[in-house]
Every structure is written in C-alpha cells, then in structure tokens.
Amino acid sequence: MNISIIGTGHVGLITGACLAERGHKVLCVDSDERKVKLLRSQKMPIYEPGLEPLVLRNMKAGRLKFGGSNADAVAFGKVVFICVPTPPTASGGADLSYIEAVSRDIARSLHEYRLVVEKSTVPVRTGGHVRSVIGKYAKKGADFDVASNPEFLREGSAIEDTLHPDRIVFGVETRRAEMVLRDVYKPFKAPIVVTDIKSAELIKHASNSFLALKISYANALAAVCERAGANVTEVVRGMGMDKRIGSSFLSAGIGYGGSCFPKDVAAFEAISRDLGFDFGLLREVMKINHDSRERFLKKVEEELWIVKGKIIGPDGNPMKDVKITFANKDNGTTRVMTTNKKGEFFQLGIDAGIYRVTVVDATGQQLWASKGIGVSYDFPEGTTELNLNFKDGVGSATGPSGPMKIDLGGKQTTPTNPDNSGGQQTMVPNPNLTPEQRTKVEEYQKKKELYAQVNAKYVAANDAEKAGQIDQAISLYKEAIAIDPSYWQVWRSLALTQLHAKQYPDSATSFGKTVELMNQDPKKDPVVLAATQHDYGIALINENKVPEAVEQYKAAVAGDPSHAAKYNFDLGVVLAGKSATTPEPLRSQMIKESNGAFDAAIAADPNFADAYYQKALNLLGEAKTVNGKMVAPPGTEDALNKYLELQPTGPNAESAKALLTEIGTKVKGTYTQKPK
C-alpha cells in the first residue's frame, strides 16, 4: 500500500521506516528542508538505535523515499499519517497549530478517498477538529475519513516497539477506515483494539499518565522509606512481584523526564480541567516529580557543601565522551552546556554570593531552578572531561594544562561539622562578599525564613482543605498572609477556597489582591493569571458587579486566547444562571451580556455545540406567547438546529428537538450519524 508520513521527527521517521520494512511503499515529507536533505543524503536527523541501517536498507529497496510537499503526500498515499509536533503551551495543554496547518493542506489537496490518521499525541476531541478543518477547506463532496492511531514508543527501543507492539489501537468512525487500517497493519502480529476516535486519543494520554503515576508513587515511597530507615529498592522489588502491580516503571529516582511524560501528563491534566473535571491526582504526580528533583538537589548541596562551578553526573560515571563548554565567566557566573546523549545532567551556575541551581537536560533545556547561599569556586576555562567521586570528595579533570585534581568539598569542614564526621552540612556565606553582596545575602536569608513560615501554614491549609475543614483552611491561609502578604499564590488559594465556600464578597477581595500581585510579578504565567481573572469574574457576578466581571473575563481571554471559547462560554452560563434571581433592570443587562458571551464563544470555536444550545435557552427566556403559541426571538431556531447538527445524539438533543417543536418549527433533517 502507498502510505504518506507528514513529519519526520522521532515518531514520523520511525513509523515510516518500520512500515517500509513491512513491505509498504512510504513517502515521508517535512517542512524542514534541512531534515529532508539530510535523509536524502542518507544521514539521520535524530538518533535511535538501529534506525540508520533500517532507513538505508529500505531506501535502497525503493520502499522509502523523502521529500516533497504536503500536497505530494496526499497525492501519493491512500493513508496519510500526521506526525507533526504538539509542543506544550504555557498552560500545560498541547499546541495544535501544526495539526491544523497540515489538516488545511490535506483538505486543499483532496481529489480522491484518503484516510487521514492522527499519529501525533493529541488531546481528546482533536479528531473532530481535524475532520471539521478538512471539511471546511476541501472541495464539496470530498471523500475522506479521519482516524486515530496513537504511538507507544520508548526512546531507545522505538523500532522494536513499532515492529513488535504490545497492542495496536484504531480510533475510527467508519467500517471503511477500520478495514484500511487493518490492511496497513496486516504484516504486524499484535492484538488490535478498535474503538472510537475520542477513546483512542485518551488511551495514549491515559497510558503515559499512569506510567508517570507509578514513577511518582515510587519516588514518594522513597521519601517515606528514607524517613523510616527502609530500603526503597527492596520495597518496590517486593511490590513488583505482585502480578497485579508489576515491576515496570516502579523504580525510585529523580523523577520522570524525556520528551513525552512531562508534556503528556500536563496536557492530560489540562484536558481534564477543560472538560470540567478536576484531575487533582495528576497535579500531585507532577508535584511529586518536581519534589523528587528538589530533594536530590538538596542532597547534592548537603554532600558537596561548596557547589559553585561543579558539574554533577551519575555517581561513579567518568563522563567520558562528554563535551563540556565553559562560556566566558562575566559577572562571576559559570554556565555549562553538555552534549551528552546518555541522560540528564545538572548545571550549577553560581552568581557571586548567591547561587542559582539550574537543572538542564542534555540539550541545555532548563527544567527547574532554585536559589540559595553559595561560596566561591570555579573550574578553569577549557576543562573538557570530569571524573567525580562524591563518596571520597575528590575527582579529576582534563583541562587546558592537562590532568588536574578537583576537591569536591567532601573533605572540607563547616562550622556545624568541624571534624567532617558526616551528617548534614550547612552552606555558609562566602567570606569575601562585598558589603552590597552581604546585604543581599542577609535579605535573602530573612526572606527564606519568612517563606518557611508561610509555606508551613500554606501546606497545613491545603491539608485542611483536602480533609474538608474549609473554615480551618481559610484561617490558615489568612495566617500565612499575615506573616508575609507578598505571595500571590497564597492569596489565590484563599480566594478559590472562599469561592467554593460561596463566600463571594471575601473571595472577590482576595481575587482582587491576587490579580494585583500577579501583575507586579514579571515571572508570572499569563495563563495562570487568565484563569485567576476568570474565577475573579465568577465572584464578581455573584456580587452583582456585572461590568467589573465582564472586564475580568475580557482580560482573561486577552491573556489566554487559547481558552477564549471556554472563558466566554463560562461567562455566559454564570450570567444566565444569576439572572434568574436578579430583578430588573440588572436582569436584562445580565441577559444581554450573556448572549454576547455565547456569541463570542461561538466566534472563537464555531463547533462549540453547547454554546449554541445555551444561547437558544437564553433567547427562549425572552419568548412571548401570541394567540396561545410561543413566538421565539430571531436566532432561536438556528441555534437549536446548529446544536443538533453538531451533537445529533448529545445530552441535550432530545430537549432541543422538543423546543423546536414547541415553537412550531420543523426539525431540520434527522441528525443521525451514518457510516460512509
């Protein structure tokens, strides 16, 4: 079969090569001409064990070709796999702009039947959007199907995972799409799961999130074992022998990483939130993962004492074949970049007097950062290889003048550990600080002490809230704010708790302070600010402060346009609900703003079925009875019929049909999903 792959990243290139290996003719295209030129010259743009001989073998056999446009891909393949990136957004969701752009290109090139398959990891409902985009931009009557076929590849064993998978998942809407995919995977011997597109999309995110959960569980267990004096390795070994649990992904460490788990867990949590479900368990998984790294770094600080300029790798690893580049050390800062491909390494870049610990991966991508008090220590520029022995506190390196010894700090003493007898070591300020630097250190120490007090109250408040002790939680949040009122995170938690407790006046005040502090924070996440403004709007509406609420919702949409449809829809629903118990003339103002919000939601997402239904209900609230017959305002019929078009079997379908009948309008069509 002729198959096209759009996107030659890790998933696309490996999928294309493995399909060619099983006898299909495959064309891989990519918008990155550099990648295409590399592949045509028989060079690999990515590394994966066994990939190069696999690609070269199938290129030589004429089954695997590279180059051309997306239009060429549509013309060549009966099946077109979309394998483009879906990077994380600031809110943790997935950026689907590449998916949308490719869908438009496919639509404009359709001349005969094609099966368009999502291979990229995407949020649930993406398949419906792909179908809508293709339907909108394709010629009338274009013949196509959309399907989901998620990948389950592990870096390092991706070829084996593709050629010999545990299972193959088809998400399809028609029998024809299923049969085409069965033909594609006929040479593969694996169980096949056939389901609908939404379920297939969820299977991938749910699988990765569950594996991440196992990793975080093991790391949380490690923290318990440390406190109890138990051996976490033995504990998880005993657990893993239980067939119901299994030992895979149940090893304690410094947390999960890589290209999939962090973004997939964050995306799944964001998806669940957008669907109206608070998947708090996933947030806890991410928190444990973050805390595992922080716990590791704390151990490094305790073990090494002096940390400035030290490059940290796995214990006992000589780090050969690792290229270390030192930049010019201006303003006392050492920055390190590695090209190591074996795993994650850590950069300790230190400013004079106050150090900043930054965790980076092998590409230099920052993963996490913290602050503390440091002392002066540097490696010479030109250092290339390091051999670190943490246990003995010594190491060696190859530098510009040849081999040299390195003191890692393990044999040095501190005021709290004068005989170096072991136990926790305490960082001390650099004795050579200038008066200005020492003032900064003192200010930081004071801030750190206050933060510890605030954090203790904050954690206790969270625990109380989880236990259902709402009044106690609110009291503890207020105590934290009394210690230091500068943390918007505490104000926001207080505001949300008050909102859920329906303490609207207090909630509105707390949200107002939260937004004020966030706007002063240059490092704030605009998506979190937008979500806060959204919730602030809810509190204001319940205080009958409609203009102020609308202002906050508009600010939320401006700050996070990706949630424009949701935020406007929420505004419309809250206004409509509140209007039912609000006297005139404010009631009419609420209805008018509500209708405007639903219109804005529809403008942001023309396929937002519930927005059409809620708008219709608003309009029907203004209906009049003439000669015993209901006369609905203009637009009611269109809104109800549009809902039925988008959701023919949706939860409000029967209600929509009954309402159309009640206003004397014939329901357009039958609105049933028919297989092609």
Instruction: State how far the Cα of 410 lies from the Cα of 392, in Å rounded to an integer.
Output: 7
Select which of 18, 28, 225, 260 is catalytic.
260
- Residue given tokens 């309009």 in the structure block: 619
Distance CA 455, CA 462 (A): 10
Torsion sign (Cα): 40, 43, 46, 51:
positive
Inter-residue contact 640 to 619 (CB < 8 Å): no
Q: What is the DSSP letter of 25?
A: E
Helices 197-228, 126-137: axis angle to 10 degrees equals 150
Q: What is the DSSP string of 48-59?
A: -TTHHHHHHHHH
Q: Spell out the SS3 assignment of 606-673.
A: CCCHHHHHHHHHHHHCCCEEECCEEECCCCHHHHHHHHHHHCCCCCCHHHHHHHHHHCCCCCCCCCCC
For 287, residues 6+ apart whose C-beta sits below 8 A from its C-beta are none
C-alpha to C-alpha distance for 475 and 477, rounded to whole angstroms: 6
Q: Compute the chain's Rg from CA coordinates.
A: 29
Q: Which DSSP string corresponds to 78-98?
A: SEEEE-----B-TTS-B--HH
Per-residue b/e over 272-293, b at no fewer than 16 CB within 10 Å?
A: bbbeeeebeebbebbebbeebb
Name the DSSP class of 250.
-
| Closest C-alpha to 210, from 126, 291, 281 | 281
Q: Could you write out the DSSP letters of every residue in 330-357?
A: GGG---EEE---SS-EEEEEE-SSEEEE
CA atoms of 243 and 235, how far apart (whole Å): 15
Neighbours of 674 (CB within 10 A): 7
Could you tell me the CA-to-CA distances from 376 to 123, 308, 333, 386, 525 in Å, in that order? Answer: 47, 6, 10, 19, 33
DSSP string, 137-152: HSPTT--EEEEE----
The helix or strand, by DSSP H or E, that contains position 287, with its residue range, turns out to be helix 280-304
Q: Name the token pair of 124.
A: 């649930």
Burial of 366 (0-12, 13-18, 19+ CB in 10 A): exposed
18 is catalytic: no
Q: At what angle do helices 564-579 and 526-541 cross, to 10 degrees?
A: 10
Residues with active-site annotation:
260
